[in-house]
């Protein structure tokens, strides 16, 4: 693999610079070198970068197993940026071989002062205690003038001012109601630190307020969290908010139905797998739940078609993360796929469902129906979605 470069011009100049180093003499051919151990240096003498494979590439000191010194040198290099992992070049016998348990550190819970805020907030606080994380309670209130009807522009100015005043008073009342519910929920639990700051050892929660459109602000703020929790109701406004967050936030969304118990949750998890990109992202986003679950079932509604997309390896992939999953075939029959998945998950005793969202466009699902549309219309159990 390593040696002198063939003098046939087959390698592009940029590729040469990525794969090795060039001597100071421009006539000397390119020399490929492994990541050699250098006892008198703390860093390698040449830059190392990974090809664009879509996955991180880690190069470790070739002399690590031989010398086994305990040092704080930045040995691994992953992708194009160095990972600060002290002592990574120790021999394998001295490394700690234990399964890495993933967790959610920041969970965003939007609140608007309605009665439907309670399930998602309770779930978020319970998960914060479970994952030792932080709940970011965000109250988004629209501007008073945004709630005025379109025909109000033709009314007298005094009438518009009065309508704006009434709208502002109603929004303030909802904001105060949301803050009261947040304070009461946090104070009722032991071990939750209110107004927590980064770096705290235990679970915490904090309160924020923003003014504007929730359909715009929530996806933007959700990008700075690990998990977004939303109340799973069939109200048109909530349905619009769920769709906007799923498609624009880039983060997994946990829908909490009104009947969901705050804890424990995710002890028995069912995964709706179809081999698609959305399903793969949902599985990756749900690993903190899967690693703590007592039982995990991978539901395939069309086994023959799913196997063509490589679903046979999902069980092996989860095993590498310490998750013992079982493949279960689902035969919808006369029912649609969404109804069959919910029914089969209930028969297996699952209390948590994971699946990808909107594998097809929203327009197609609105016209012809789809699994995501069925799931949004039937809030049965906590549902983790990823797009």
Lowest mean pLDDT among 131-135, 149-153, 251-255: 149-153
Q: Tally Cβ neighbours within 10 Å of residue 306.
A: 22
Of 53 and 372, the one with more pLDDT: 372
Looking at residue 256, its pLDDT comes to 93
191-222 burial, b for 16+ CB within 10 Å, e for fewer? Answer: ebbeebeeeeeebbbbbeeeeeebeebbbebb
**H or E stretch including 317?**
helix 314-320
SS3 call for 211: strand
Cα(313)–Cα(365) distance, integer angstroms: 28
Give 140's strand partners: 210
282 contacts 356 by C-beta, under 8 angstroms: yes
Averaged confidence pLDDT in the chain = 74
**Mean pLDDT computed over 337-364:** 82
Closest Cα partner for 194 from 202, 177, 256, 221? 202
Task: Tell me the whole-structure pTM to 2 decimals.
Answer: 0.70
**Mean pLDDT computed over 143-165:** 74
141 contacts 171 by C-beta, under 8 angstroms: yes
**Mean pLDDT computed over 343-348:** 91
96-111 pLDDT per residue, tens: 444 567 789 999 999 9
Give 385's strand partners: 253, 355
Please report the domains of the chain, with CATH numbers, ordered by start residue. Answer: 103-250 (3.40.50.620), 266-387 (3.40.50.620)
**Mean pLDDT computed over 124-132:** 91
Looking at residue 168, its pLDDT comes to 87
360 contacts 209 by C-beta, under 8 angstroms: no
Classify strands 77-78 and 81-82 as parallel, antiparallel or unpaired. Answer: antiparallel
Tell me: pLDDT of 33 over 80.
no
Cα(135)–Cα(206) distance, integer angstroms: 6
Give 355's strand partners: 272, 385
pLDDT band at 115 (very low <50, low <70, confident <90, very high): confident
Radius of gyration in angstroms for the set of CA atoms belonging to the chain, rounded to a whole number = 26
Q: Which residues does 318 contact at the CB level (< 8 Å), separation at least 6? A: 283, 290, 296, 298, 324, 325
How far, rounded to the nearest angstrom, does the alpha carbon of residue 356 sit from its chain's CA centroid?
12
Give 193's strand partners: 204
């Amino acid at each position: 693999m390593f040696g002198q470069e063939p003098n046939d011009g087959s390698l592009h100049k940029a590729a040469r610079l990525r794969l090795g180093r060039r001597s100071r003499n421009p006539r000397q051919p390119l020399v490929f070198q492994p990541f050699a151990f250098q006892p008198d240096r703390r860093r390698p003498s040449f830059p190392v970068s990974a090809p664009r494979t879509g996955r991180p590439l880690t190069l470790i000191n070739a002399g690590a197993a031989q010398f086994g010194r305990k040092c704080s040198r930045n040995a691994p290099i992953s992708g194009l940026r160095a990972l600060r992992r002290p002592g990574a070049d120790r021999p394998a016998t001295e490394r700690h071989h234990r399964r890495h348990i993933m967790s959610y550190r920041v969970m965003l819970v939007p609140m608007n002062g309605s009665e439907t805020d309670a399930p998602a907030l309770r779930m978020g606080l319970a998960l914060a205690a479970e994952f030792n994380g932080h709940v970011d309670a965000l109250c988004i209130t629209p501007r008073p003038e945004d709630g005025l009807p379109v025909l109000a522009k033709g009314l007298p100015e005094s009438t518009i001012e009065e309508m704006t005043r009434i709208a502002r008073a109603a929004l303030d009342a909802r904001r105060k109601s949301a803050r009261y519910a947040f304070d009461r929920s946090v104070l009722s639990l032991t071990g939750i630190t209110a107004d927590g700051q980064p770096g705290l050892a235990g679970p915490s929660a904090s309160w924020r307020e923003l003014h504007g459109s929730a359909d715009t602000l929530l996806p933007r703020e959700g990008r700075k969290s690990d998990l977004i929790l939303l109340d799973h109701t069939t109200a048109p406004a909530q349905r619009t908010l769920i769709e906007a967050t799923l498609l624009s936030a880039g983060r997994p969304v946990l829908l909490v139905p009104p009947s969901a118990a705050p804890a424990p949750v995710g002890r028995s998890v069912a995964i709706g797998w179809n081999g698609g990109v959305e399903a793969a992202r949902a599985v990756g986003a749900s690993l903190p739940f899967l690693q703590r679950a007592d039982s995990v079932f991978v539901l395939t509604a069309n086994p023959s078609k799913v196997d063509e997309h490589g679903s046979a390896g999902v069980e092996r992939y989860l095993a590498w993360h310490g998750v013992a999953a079982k493949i279960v075939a689902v035969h919808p029959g006369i029912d649609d796929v969404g109804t069959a998945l919910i029914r089969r998950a209930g028969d297996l005793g699952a209390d948590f469902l994971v699946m990808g969202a909107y594998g097809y466009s929203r327009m197609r699902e609105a016209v012809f129906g789809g699994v995501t549309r069925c799931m949004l219309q039937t809030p049965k159990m906590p549902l983790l979605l990823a797009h």
